[in-house]
């Protein structure tokens, strides 16, 4: 590979990016196969790629794993949507207006360090063990992180753009709607993409307690029977869904904000 490709911040051609990304997966599966098929790791601790695929096929054909996947996706999207509906407007207000930031920043900074999993016992008392409890775990884990991220993004808008808008006669509302939001929207979209990835970690934690369906529930059931193949397959399904979601976000970002392409 030519040394010139490693120049700092130099973009990579789309074709080469695809090849390098695929090569990383190939090396990962190669190492996994060597460790398992070569006998370096016992099947009790790590199933081989082939055994994991067989276990996954059994999950779909015998245990209705497709329904588990659908339930988990619904929980993630519901909790994430609720968090975004609250966090994005509040973050915009905090970034645009410093008195609002001063009022909320301390509490939001405090709350975002609270682990969402610690709320599970309380949420079970308040909402039971149904869908609402699991959605609220995702909401709590996502909303405060997203508020801070959106606030920082909006607050980092170039001041010269704001001053130019005032010079041209814009009102405070006009500055927010026509300067701050257009300037911050691409990065806010990226923040949503990142936080959605975190939401997947929270849903698995939520499904470990009091769930009868879901990917997390399946993983716990597999752990009881020491079936590492099913556990690994469930983890890989989460990663695959996340990868597809990530690509969809990137495609939507490129289509909605063509001027903000950074690579």
Domain boundaries, given as residue ranges, for the chain: 53-258
The pTM assigned to this predicted structure is 0.87
Q: How far is CA 230 from the centre of its chain?
A: 23
DSSP code at position 209: S
Cα 120 from Cα 42, distance rounded (Å): 35
Q: Quick check: 145 and 91 in contact, CB under 8 A?
A: no
Sign of CA dihedral 23, 240, 82, 175: positive
Please identify which residue in the block is written with the tokens 């709350």: 111
Number of H helices, E strands in the chain: 11, 0
Angle at 196 between CA 111 and CA 87, to 5 degrees: 45
Cα 244 from Cα 141, distance rounded (Å): 22
The third-level CATH classification (topology) of the domain covering 53-258 is MetI-like fold (1.10.3720)
Question: Comparing C-alpha atoms, which of 143, 160, 153 is closest to residue 186?
Answer: 153
Instruction: Print pLDDT tens along the chain (263 aa).
Output: 566 667 777 788 888 888 988 999 999 999 999 999 998 998 889 999 999 999 999 999 998 999 999 999 999 999 999 999 999 999 999 999 999 999 999 999 999 999 888 898 888 888 887 889 999 999 999 999 999 999 999 988 888 888 888 887 878 888 888 888 888 999 999 999 999 988 988 888 888 777 778 998 899 888 888 899 999 999 999 999 989 998 899 889 888 888 776 54
Cα 218 from Cα 65, distance rounded (Å): 8
SS (H, E, C) 93-130: HHHHCHHHHHHHHHHHHHHCCCCHHHHHHHHHHHHCCC
DSSP code at position 169: T
């Amino acid at each position: 590979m030519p040394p010139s490709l490693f120049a700092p911040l130099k973009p990579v051609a789309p074709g080469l990016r695809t090849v390098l990304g695929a090569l990383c997966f190939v090396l990962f599966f190669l190492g996994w196969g060597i460790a398992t098929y070569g006998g370096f790791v016992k099947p009790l601790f790590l199933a081989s790629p082939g055994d994991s695929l067989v276990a996954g096929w059994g999950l779909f054909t015998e245990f209705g794993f497709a329904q588990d996947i659908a339930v988990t996706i619904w929980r993630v999207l519901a909790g994430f949507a609720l968090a975004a509906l609250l966090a994005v407007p509040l973050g915009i207000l905090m970034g645009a207006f410093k008195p609002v930031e001063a009022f909320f920043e301390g509490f939001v900074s405090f709350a975002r360090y609270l682990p969402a999993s610690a709320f599970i016992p309380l949420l079970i008392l308040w909402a039971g063990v149904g869908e609402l409890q699991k959605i609220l775990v995702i909401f709590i884990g996502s909303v405060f992180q997203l508020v801070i991220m959106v606030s920082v993004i909006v607050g980092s808008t170039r001041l010269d753009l704001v001053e130019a808008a005032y010079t041209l006669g814009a009102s405070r509302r006009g500055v927010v709607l026509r300067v701050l939001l257009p300037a911050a929207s691409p990065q806010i979209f990226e923040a949503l993409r990142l936080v959605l990835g975190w939401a997947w970690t929270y849903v698995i934690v939520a499904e470990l307690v009091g769930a009868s369906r879901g990917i997390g529930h399946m993983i716990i059931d597999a752990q009881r029977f020491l079936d590492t193949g099913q556990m690994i397959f469930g983890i890989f399904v989460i990663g695959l869904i996340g990868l597809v979601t990530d690509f969809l976000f990137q495609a939507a970002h490129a289509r909605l904000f063509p001027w903000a392409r950074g690579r």
